[in-house]
Amino acid sequence: MSDERWRSAPAAVDVARAGVSYDWLASIGGRLYWVESSPDAGRDAVVTWSAGSVAVLPGDGVGSGLHAYGGMPFAVLPSGEVVRVCDESGQLTGAVTVSATAHDYGDLTWSGVELLGVREDASGDDLVGVEMSSGRLRVLEATDGFLASPRVSGERLAWVRWDRGVMPWDSSEVWAAGYMPDEQLVGPVRVAGGPDESAFQPQWGVDGWLYFMSDRSGWWNLYRWRDGRTEPVALVEAECATAPWESGYANYAMLPDGRIVMTVQRGPVHELAVVSSGAMVRLPVPYTSIKPFLAVMGDRVAVIGSSPTRTQEIALVSADGSGRVEVVRPGADHRFADVSVPQLLQVESGGAQVTAVLYPPSGETGPAPMIVRPHAGPTYHSDLRLDGEVQFFTSRGFAVVDVDYRGSTGYGRTFRKALDGQWGRFDVADCRAVAEHLIEAGRAIPGAVFISGASAGGYTALRAACEEGPFAMAVARSAIVDPQRWTTTAPRFQRPHAAVLASPDSAVRADQVRRPVLLIHGVRDQIVPIGDTTALADGLRGRGLLVEMLTLENVGHYVSGTGLVAALEAELDAYRSVLKDAGLAVPG
């Protein structure tokens, strides 16, 4: 292989600089708004677009810490002014004056007469209304559990709630009530949801029905309710909603002519479809990954989309099936030469069919050193999009394979619930099955297979290092170490997650580990505090199995910027060192 090829490989700093992200897309008053995160800007900002003109709105950084992962962090008032959630304080800022409290705000929306939102503290959630002229705040609904997604149509309000001991993708409810400013809610009624049903994303239609997503059929599909009557809108064996890690997702949107546009997910592949009179028609788009922030602008739908060859971009898609796409905000200039395009695989594991996304090394076809990546979550999925971290390694001669292990979303409720009580077992078994399949198929080099994950994926990697098998080393970034302890140290939102997934022997102990481990953790991680990782590092160091404990100052749970540069370089050095010590060829 030529030296020129390796000179074209992206540096870690190129990957970090390409990490531009778009979220919280909304269409208001003929303009598009979204939150834009850029490593170069150093803060998340509200950005707006109209008629080809893009403007970054002035103000402090915007970002919500509601339920740890966030909720809609801005609202646009009729005047055009914007209310934000301050990313530092969690308080409302901008075109509003509200007394500061010990709450985190999010899920903001303009009701037509007042600002609505959800606020959270250690005792629970409040659904609140704010009068803009005075800043007076009133509590419409309160619970020691969780609230989300206030949606108003005239004198009707809908919202989502779930109990403090469950996760919203396991059990959540849609509620509706009469709504008037300065008055209490009238006649609240549970529309959908319960102990074995996950219902969320309410939206009022112009036809008077309340629409929502529910997995009562085993798949998140769209339903509607009016006056006690519920009926399906479009039944399909696919996921039409995203697991609600953040509050305020919009996997569907109403077109002016009454049709509904929605995302449809099968495994890692997202599509866009239009529903009319119960029939679903696919819209041709150049994207395989679509974020859950759809917004209608006239007769077109605004999306945040990406693919294995396109970075994240914002586009207006024609809903007439013509395939016309107008890019509103292009993706970052990724500068990745010779992009590795993935292949989808099906592998049998424990009686289940597991999907994997294989990225071959750039320009190579034979067996290669391989990095197996269990995704973070674990109630999430692998994204079929251009990933700079993947290209960093494939451009240096490594294959990368992402695994949708049991517990992943995109495969229905039964598959999603399969990991309950089996975390650290089934996920590890599925990653091992994928690795062994690729070794047998001649795609991976025995002794040169690694496992690397972040957050929950980091836990899977650590558990894999505790077993015999194909993995020569594990890399764990921002990793959970002890799920049982995490039920007490995790954010309030996620404590039930750890409780339902973990088994009594789920902790990773240093004396169980059999493979070298690279640990990477941010000092400011509020979702998975660094203490357990530090203790594990001490134990591994004593056994000679700690490759390195890379401690990242001023870095939280999500590693980006200079922290990501250091993490990628440490990971690459660790792989090369293991290969060299084993007498195997070191690519690149």
Per-residue pLDDT of 566-577, as tens digits, reads 999 999 999 999
Q: How far apart, in whole angstroms, are the C-alpha atoms of residue 562 and residue 568?
A: 10
Query: Which fold does the domain 337-581 belong to in CATH?
Result: Rossmann fold (3.40.50)
Q: Is the pLDDT of residue 5 over 70?
A: no
Q: 578, 516 in Cβ contact below 8 A?
A: yes
Structure tokens, 499: 């409780």
Beta bridge partners of 109: 116
Task: Give which of 17, 15, 10 is closest to 362, Cα–Cα.
Answer: 10
Q: Is the pLDDT of residue 348 over 90?
A: yes
CA–CA distance, 359 with 321 (Å, rounded to integer):
31
Which strand (E) or helix (H) includes residue 327? strand 325-329
Residue 7: per-residue pLDDT: 46
Q: For residue range 432-477, what is the model confidence (pLDDT) as tens digits?
A: 999 999 999 999 999 999 999 999 999 999 999 999 999 999 999 9
The dihedral through the CA atoms of 32, 38, 41, 43 has a sign that is positive
Neighbours of 125 (CB within 10 A): 28
| Cα angle for residues 30, 36, 40 (degrees, 5° grid) | 140
Neighbours of 343 (CB within 10 A): 12
What are the angstrom distances between the C-alpha of 332 and each of 14, 22, 36, 316, 395? 11, 11, 12, 18, 19
Sheet holding 146-153, edge to edge: 146-153, 156-162, 173-178, 186-193
CA distance 479 to 306: 27
Concatenate the DSSP letters of all residues of 193-224 into one string: EBTTBBEEEEEE-TTSPEEEEE-TTSS-EEEE
135-171 per-position pLDDT tens digit? 899 999 999 999 999 999 999 999 999 999 999 999 9
Across 263-275, average pLDDT: 98
Share of the chain above pLDDT 70, in %: 99
Q: What is the pTM of this model?
A: 0.95
111 to each of 34, 154, 159, 313, how far by Cα in Å?
A: 19, 8, 13, 29
- For residue range 478-517, list pLDDT tens digits in order: 999 999 999 999 999 999 999 999 988 999 999 999 999 9
Which helix (H) or strand (E) element contains residue 252? strand 252-254
**Dihedral sign from CA coordinates of 365, 368, 371, 372:** positive
Q: Are 521 and 551 in contact (CB under 8 A)?
A: yes
Asked if residues 269 and 227 have their Cβ atoms less than 8 Å apart, the reply is no
